[in-house]
Amino acid sequence: MPILGIGVDLVHVPRFVGMLTRRSTSATGTVHAATTPPWEASEAQATLTPVARYLAGRWAAKEAAFKALSGHHTLAWDQCRVLTRRPPADAAGPSPFVTGAHLAITHDGDYVLAQVTIEGHD
């Protein structure tokens, strides 16, 4: 299948922690649309950092997916999911022309990077 788009996003984790801390409930609800890890915004940053890294990876993946699909498909934030295993064969994708999506997430120091490749046909 041809590649429809490639998207990349880089998240600075300390800035992301700041956003979560400032906006606690609303940002948390937005960020974990695909996952719901238990945490409280008032916890110490040392406790928040592993969860923030995890959420930053999910955030970067969603942003990269939006970039990869730009010009092909309009996607709502809650339509994009980061799955840890393959969905059932009959699961509906974001669009009939998307036949595959590939995600890579990497963490290094204070940064998280996600890269998404979308396959399909026009």
More confident residue, 106 or 74: 106
Stated length of the chain = 122
* Digit-coded pLDDT (tens) for 81-101: 787 776 665 555 556 677 888
**The domain made up of 3-120 is a member of CATH 3.90.470.20:** yes
Residues 6 or more apart whose Cβ sits within 8 Å of residue 29: none
**pTM attached to this predicted model:** 0.72
Calculate the CA 23 to chain-centre distance.
Answer: 18
Q: Cα separations (Å) of 119 from 20, 29, 31, 88, 98?
A: 33, 29, 25, 18, 6
- The strand pair at 98-108 and 3-12 is best described as unpaired
* Digit-coded pLDDT (tens) for 16-74: 888 877 765 554 555 544 333 344 334 434 455 788 888 899 999 999 999 998 877 77
